Amino acid sequence: MHIDRLGVHESVGAIFPPETLAEQLRSLDPDVTVVGDDVSAVDAVATFGHVEAFLDLEWVHCVRAGYDDFPVADYRDAGTALTNSSGIHGASVGETALGVMLSLARRLHTARDAQADREWAQPTWDEPFTLMDERLTVVGLGAVGRGIASRADGLGMRVAGVRRTPARPPHVREVYAPDELHEAVADARFVALATPLTEETAGMVDAAVFEAMREDAYLVNVARGGVVETDALVAAVEDGVIAGAALDAFETEPLPAASPLWDLDDVLITPHSGAMTRDYYRDVAALVRQNALHAAADEALVNRVV
């Protein structure tokens, strides 16, 4: 693969200023420029979103881990290499997941809500709890899932996981297969989703999963909105089938103002900011740099999707 000119697509502006990544990559051999949808002047791009013209390029690097917005089959047909940014989100999303679990357990979100009204509102005596000794089931044990598991273990939680392959990573006591999801969530106080959105995971968390969960359990979704059936989630929280949820990803983003999720007290909403960190561009640059060197040496690209 021969890359003379590398573009940073302006869509990365959803996460960081495009020029920060371009500047970080300037020491590479390929010329690096910020580009719009006209990519005729470059051979490869780093991008947040897909643009049809990318199919004429040698290589496209998605600055996110989830590439569910990319038409993967078209990339395969076009012979355009597609790589993603899996591996860099363990700390950011891991801390976000722990943050929302701590908030729900220690009732920090209700204190902040009351603060807006200058109200001194202690929780009732039996509302707050500690994460220590509570069970967490992490669905998906890749970079994100392991980032959540290690931090939860550090706080004394009992961590189980769900993945396709049976290998048990550090900090995880038991691993379940995807077809054992109901059993895996049955005893958990928190169920954290960290899978990609695929044909297998779309709508995976449905009414039957909520029925299998404890009444005092919380769902944490830092994966993709489409992994959860939203109507079933709203019904489960409204009807007390589960206690609540912390959601960073939604089927429609931004979450529409009319969504019933906004009005649920024990649903904590973050605006798909779980992976945001001021160092994001540096982590992406390290991946792009590594693959630019691999491309120059005719070696296999890392994090290759197709």
Q: Which amino acid is at 226?
A: G
Q: For residue 14, what are the contacts with CB-CB under 8 A and spacing of at least 6?
A: 48, 49
Shortest separation between residue 282's beta carbon and ligand NDP, angstroms: 16
- Closer Cβ to ligand NDP, 167 or 257, answer by number: 167
Complete DSSP assignment for 66-128: --TTS-HHHHHHHT-EEE--TTS-HHHHHHHHHHHHHHHHHTHHHHHHHHTTT---PPPTTS-
Shortest separation between residue 195's beta carbon and ligand NDP, angstroms: 4
Pairing of strands 158-162, 174-176: parallel
Please name the helix (run of DSSP H) or strand (run of DSSP E) that holds residue 207, with its range, or none: helix 207-212
Shortest separation between residue 264's beta carbon and ligand NDP, angstroms: 20
224 is catalytic: yes
- Closer Cβ to ligand NDP, 92 or 110, answer by number: 92
Shortest separation between residue 289's beta carbon and ligand NDP, angstroms: 19
272 is catalytic: yes
Shortest separation between residue 67's beta carbon and ligand NDP, angstroms: 7
| Catalytic residue of the set 61, 151, 163, 272 | 272
Sheet containing 44-47, strands listed edge to edge, beginning at the edge strand earlier in sequence: 31-35, 5-9, 44-47, 59-62, 81-83
- Closer Cβ to ligand NDP, 42 or 65, answer by number: 65
Contacts with ligand NDP, residue ranges (CB under 6 A): 65-66, 86, 89, 93, 139-145, 162-165, 178, 194-198, 200-201, 222-224, 248-249, 272, 274-275
Token look-up 């489409």 returns 226
| Catalytic residue of the set 50, 151, 224, 229 | 224
What separation in angstroms does the CA of 274 have from each of 65, 193, 257, 294? 12, 13, 20, 30
| Catalytic residue of the set 164, 253, 299, 304 | 253
Tell me how many helices (H) and strands (E) the chain has. 9, 12
**Active-site residues: which are they?**
224, 253, 272
